[in-house]
Amino acid sequence: MKTTEPIIKVRNLDFYYGPSLALHQISMDIPPNLITALIGPSGCGKSTFLRCLNRMNDTIPGTHIEGQILLNDKDIYSPDTDLANLRQKVGMVFQKPNPFPQSIFDNVAFGPRVVGLSRKKSELETIVEQSLRQAALWDEVKDHLNENAMSFSLGEQQRLCIARLLAVRPDVILMDEPASALDPIATLKIEELMTELKENYTIVIVTHNMQQAARVSNFTGFFWLGKLIEFSSTSKIFTLPEQQLSEDYITGKMG
């Protein structure tokens, strides 16, 4: 039986770009093995919040947080946090596919080689195949593993980036508008893939597409001007939101 204990707990999170407050008092429990969607207008803090979950914002000078983010009850902002280990456990898929200009095989093998998951070539080959299968890409590329990843379609490149992430065995997958650069068919494949992956992974997705959030997610958080206005089951937030602002945004009256 799967636990219902949140895998990520966010408590009273404030995030600053220099003196500017970008996120204000965000608290949220992210459940395991489900898809949590973050919605809201551009500039409302969704992507900033997502990047807080694996400390990607640390790369931006002058940023800092107040509050807590707990991964499996451990504070990821504590001084003794190993950032490489954190980003292995909490991986990110970006808006635009960013494969390395290398072969399909070397893209997926990169992470396991770096973190030492495989010592033998046969082990590496197994990890690459398993990861590509999990990303629903194996059948398309199994005869092209030595070809340059840049020669494939955007949809295939995005699934390759997901396979590359899966190869290092994360617990949580963060997705920042993962289908916004893709055509409708490739978008559908990414959505189907997310639904399959939540059996083994926790997924948090930022999306501007509310239909996508309604289709794929189990929980939804609505952000507005750096604040979390409402967080609830997706079915509830799309049919019976508690806040008028949520209803106005979802029905298109504002935003």
Residue where the block lists tokens 């398993």: 130
Measured distance CA(99)–CA(42) in Å, rounded: 26
Measured distance CA(201)–CA(34) in Å, rounded: 8
How far lies 229's CA from each of 79, 250, 253, in Å? 30, 12, 16
* CATH fold for the domain made of 8-250: Rossmann fold (3.40.50)
Q: What are phi and psi of 153, to 5 degrees?
A: -65, 160
What are the sequence ranges of the domains in the chain? 8-250
Count CB neighbours of 98 within 10 A. Answer: 12
Q: What is the pLDDT of residue 119?
A: 73
Q: What is the pLDDT of residue 3?
A: 54
> What is the residue-level pLDDT of the chain in tens, covering all 255 positions?
355 799 999 999 999 999 999 999 999 999 999 999 999 999 999 999 999 999 999 999 999 999 999 999 999 999 999 999 999 999 999 999 999 999 999 999 999 998 887 778 899 999 999 999 999 999 999 999 999 999 999 999 999 999 999 999 999 999 999 999 899 999 999 999 999 999 999 999 999 999 999 999 999 999 999 999 999 999 999 999 999 999 999 998 876
Q: What is the pLDDT of residue 2?
A: 53
Measured distance CA(236)–CA(152) in Å, rounded: 39
Q: What is the pLDDT of residue 1?
A: 38
Measured distance CA(112)–CA(213) in Å, rounded: 32
In one letter, which amino acid is 140? Answer: E
How far lies 161's CA from each of 6, 46, 101, 111, 220, in Å? 26, 21, 12, 11, 24
Strand order in the sheet with 20-30: 20-30, 8-17, 63-71, 74-75
Q: What is the pLDDT of residue 4?
A: 78
Measured distance CA(58)–CA(69) in Å, rounded: 14
